[in-house]
Every structure is written in structure tokens, then in C-alpha cells.
Amino acid sequence: MKNVVVVGSQWGDEGKGKIVDWLSSLADVVVRFQGGHNAGHTLVIDGKTYKLKLLPSGIVRKDKISVIGNGVVVDPWALLEEINSIEKLGVTVNSDNLILSESATLILPFHKEMDEIREDTAGKAKIGTTRRGIGPAYEDKVGRRSIRVMDLRSENNLNQRLDTVLMHHNAIRKGLGKKVYEKNKLKNELMMIADKVLKFAKPTWKILDNYKNLGKKILFEGAQGILLDVDHGTYPFVTSSNTVAASASIGSGCGPDSLGYILGITKAYTTRVGEGPFPTELTNDIGALLGRRGNEFGTVTNRQRRCGWFDSVLVKQTCKISGINGIALTKLDVLDELEEIKICIQYELNGKKIDYFPTAVEDQIKVKPVYKTLKGWKTSTKGLRENEKLPQNAQRYIKEIEGLIGVKIASISTSPEREDTILIENPFDN
């Protein structure tokens, strides 16, 4: 029985919430290993909608352990607010079913302010962040000056750590003509919530090792998508963490031998939120139709997503980089009304055909997609749960994608409801 890592194979928003929810029903432990409250998952269970940002998807299920790993950056106020919100929906959250890594980095108010300052002054060079302080918090982590969950245990230690981090931030704020950040008020605010946060704090690496030794099934839940990876994505229009499957090991404290089946969640077309290159983007009526039928608005920001044709070059590349074993294809039903459907099969750059997405952003902007056109199926696939019941043209489309990306399709999603899934291969059984 393998553990399973779930990652998004595009720019995020691939529909991971539904797939992770289904897998969490089979798992014993669900682990978030990177990102922060900038990435959300929407779960629809028995007609009730849960919108999660920091909490792992397993939290909505009884008898499941949810873990927020060391690779996550945590806004403590946002975490407590999310816990309060989900408890109002009837979900129990306590120190038995939610575990927070004591070494996770905290997002503090000055991180959020720095995020906003940079975006507002960047002009055309803005990244399109969610303005939640994710990037500045990761910068402090790498700069060895961050405040971590464990620092809340000692007021004296917290005082010293705040001196260190604010010396850095206030120097920048002064240079930008902004008011310096006062330490004592922030320290008092943190001490007021310290006990509420610390009751969840534990050495998660040790606990996960124990679960592994007991043969528990662990689901590693990624946020965002591989094309937003700080190393392998469309840099600089990326997030500030590694979103590839390998980071499940680093961001949880589990060795690489703990990772088993890598499942890539892949939308049947392509979307992107924010700025950055997007070779197959459609700014016409078809793009609008995809956005409307797919309800393409961000869970966290409610920003409208840019929509385009499926890009097999990008997905094949992310599958290679992340070692994806199988694909969960989502939102197939969004394409039901189209007469023709196009798939990008390669690019043209400066008059030459290429079969990969170049690294330089100026080349990423210049590449032109080369398409293969397939016939649409013009009939509803919504809610179908058997592969044989899919229209022939839909089956051809799926086979075409599978052949182009070189990875088998493990499941097909035909609506937001968890049960509306065509299961071809169970990741936990492989």
C-alpha cells in the first residue's frame, strides 16, 4: 500500500480539492507540505461546500489526522479564523485531529504589508500575488530571521526574534518612505494567541514517522501547481515555494522513501490566475465560455481566471519534472458545448518548432502554440461515472491527451461532486 502525493500539473486551480477529498476518505493522514493561505481548495460534500485555505482537506472527515507541515507558511490569525469558520459548519477541530509543525514559519502583518507595497509599486512588472505575505515570509525563512511556531513558547525568545526580523524589514520600510513597524504591539498580539496556536504544535516529522511505521496511509496534499514552482515554473511569475512532488518530503520531514504514487491533477483545458506567460490563452468567446462553464474564479481571491486550450507541452514537462505516475483529468464536462477542441502539441519559437517550454520569460512570451484540432462531442458528460458511457469523441480526446503527455489517465472528473468520477486506477492500490 503506497502513500500518495497530489500535485497540480498546470498553474493551479486544477480541481485538486475534489480529488484530494476523495483520496482523503481512503487515507489515514492528510499532510499539507507547502504554500500558505494563498491557495484554496473547494470541497463539495453532500451538498455542503467547504472552502479551505490552510487546513488540509482531511479535516472535514471524521477519524482522519490532518497535518500542516514545516514547509507551510502560516498566518496564525488566518489559521484560527479558518478553524472557527469550519467549526461553524459542524466540523470538529482539536489537537487530536489537527497537528501543526512547530517549525513552520509564521506570516506576520508586516509580511502582508510588504507584499502590498511591492505589488503597488511594481507597475507592469507586478507578479500578481494574492497579497497575503507569502513571499516575504518565505524570504525571511531563507534569510534565517523568521518567527516560527515554536518561538511563541517563550516571550523572551519571541522578543529577540522580533528584533532580528524587524531590523531587516524596518530598514527596507525606511528606504521606501514607509512608517517603521512597532515591535511591542505585535509581540503582545502574538502572545495573546500563542496558547491557541501552540495547542496544535508538535514535532510533525516524528509523528509522521510513527504513522509510517504503523502502516498508516498518508496523503500528501500539494497547493497551487507545478508551473508556479519557484524553480521550475514561469519565473518570476511564480509562488515562493517548491510545488513539485519532491517537496512533499522536505515540507513534511518524511524521507523520499515515504513518497509513493504521484498523482497529477490536470484540467481538461488550461487556466491561470494573475500575471505571466500563457501560450494557449483564449481572449475570445471560447475563452469566456470556458470561464463561465468552469466557474473559473479563485477560491481565495475570487479573481477571474484566464482560460485557454489544453497545453500538452506544458503538462508533459511538468509530469517529467515531478515524476507523475498518473493523471486525474478534471472538468471534462466544461468542454461539452464545443464543436471543435484544440490541443497544443508543440511550440514555434523564432520560426523553429520546439517540444518544450523555454526557461527565459521573453521566450515564454514569444512562443506560438501549434494545435491539433479534434471534433467536440456536443452532448453532456456531466455526472457520468463509467468510461464506456462517455461519447466517442470525448474518449478520443482523453486518449489523445494521454498519448501526448506520456502518462496514463487514472481518473476522470465529470462534475464538482465527489461521486461523479470515473475511476480507472486507485493510486493507493498501486
| Catalytic residue numbers, as ranges | 13, 41
* Cα 344 from Cα 365, distance rounded (Å): 15
Amino acid at 394: A
**Torsion angle, alpha carbons of 418, 73, 307, 422, to 10:** -20
Count the Cβ atoms, other than its own, within 10 Å of residue 13: 27
* DSSP 3-state of 161: helix
Length of the chain: 430
Count the Cβ atoms, other than its own, within 10 Å of residue 44: 15
* Cα 239 from Cα 231, distance rounded (Å): 10
* Cα 129 from Cα 274, distance rounded (Å): 7
Amino acid at 384: L
Beta strand ranges found along 89-140 (DSSP E):
98-101, 105-106
Which grid cell is 325?
Answer: 505516475
Strand 48-52, strand 41-45: pairing: antiparallel
DSSP category for residue 338 = -
**Torsion angle, alpha carbons of 121, 359, 371, 268, to 10:** -70
**Residue 409's beta-bridge partner residues?**
327
Beta strand ranges found along 210-296 (DSSP E):
218-221, 261-267, 270-272
**Residue 374's beta-bridge partner residues?**
341
Which grid cell is 51?
Answer: 472552502
Closest CA to 413 of 389, 376, 383: 383
